[in-house]
Amino acid sequence: MSAVPDMSGRRRLVVGSDVDQRRLDAWLAAQLPELSRSRIARLLADGHVLVNGQPARKSQRPEPGDVVEIELPPPVSDTLEPEPIPLDIVYQDEDIAVLNKPAGLVVHPAPGHRRGTLVHALLHHLTDLSGIGGVLRPGIVHRLDRDTSGLMLIAKNDAAHRTLAAALKRREVRRIYLAAAWGHLPTDDVVVDQPIARSPTHRQRMAVVEGGRPARTRLHRLERWRAADLIRAELDTGRTHQIRVHLAHIGHPVVGDAVYGGAGARGISGRDQAWARELERRTPRQFLHAAELGFRHPRTDAPMRFEAPLPEDLTAAAEWARGG
């Protein structure tokens, strides 16, 4: 496996008075020649660049006196080996594959997860994958969190990847999730339209941040349980951790969410507290599942729609909650 130079750590730059009118991404490329333009673009897209403490956009223009902070995550190897990890592939043809990802499977290699990822499994099960995502993300059109189960779309060639990525950007890929959230929504239908970026205070988390990337989630209550709701969540955008961040922001975090769940069952008081603690005990991970996926086929333009029922672990928790 080939080595990748370690350029991890933090950089802090102060924009001088002689700054020109170049965009931020071009300015950073000039200031940090050891980084490729593609890595700078990825750092900006993933929220690892702050200007005066706020998430940066690649198109903004640096001004004299601006403080630019760059977080450089440790790199991973640029060579991957296929691994015979079982996959539930629900559909595939010469252009695409749709799979039902189990909870606990990390999508692509990252620090702490250099082996045993979905990408390693894809390399074993599918011999033809798009290269647009780079060597670490072959075929990955969109991703799911490690502890989120459900449907994912994979591109098997570059033409399909470009078409699907453009459809995703135009919000023409329908992604619907099932989630259990603490407490009760104020009404059966709620729209959360709040920007998301990397948290300025907890850099491993995302948060609702002024100036972040636009994010919109449509919520519909399917079932009202004793101290939680079963919710249908539809993404209008696809920001990192979007549903989890938006539900936490409005005070109804996902049941079992160790990162954004706050007090979890401890936040439920009175007679419902024992019920909430039991639901938490019966929920082995965050209660979030990608249940529906709809899009047009990148070659034929035919409408495609797939559904994945709740897996056994979440089904058992929901059945108990209904009877509680």
Amino acid symbol at 106: V
Report the alpha-carbon angle 263-283-254, nearest 5: 50
- Is the distance from CB of 176 to CB of 306 less than 8 angstroms? no
Cα–Cα nearest to 127, from 68, 82, 158: 82
Q: Of these residues, 66, 145, 147, 313, which one is catalytic?
A: 145
Distance in angstroms (rounded) separating the CA atoms of residues 308 and 318? 16
Report the C-alpha dihedral over residues 256, 258, 263, 265, rounded to 10 degrees.
20
Instruction: Return the biggest CA–CA distance within the chain.
Output: 68
Instruction: For 219, list phi and psi in degrees, rounded to 5.
Output: -115, 140
d(CA 228, CA 209): 26
Q: Contact, 109 vs 76, CB < 8 A?
A: yes
- Judge whether 189 counts as a catalytic residue: no
Q: How far apart are CA 59 and CA 64, in angstroms?
A: 16
- 317-231-250 Cα angle (round to 5): 115
- Catalytic residues, by residue number, are 145
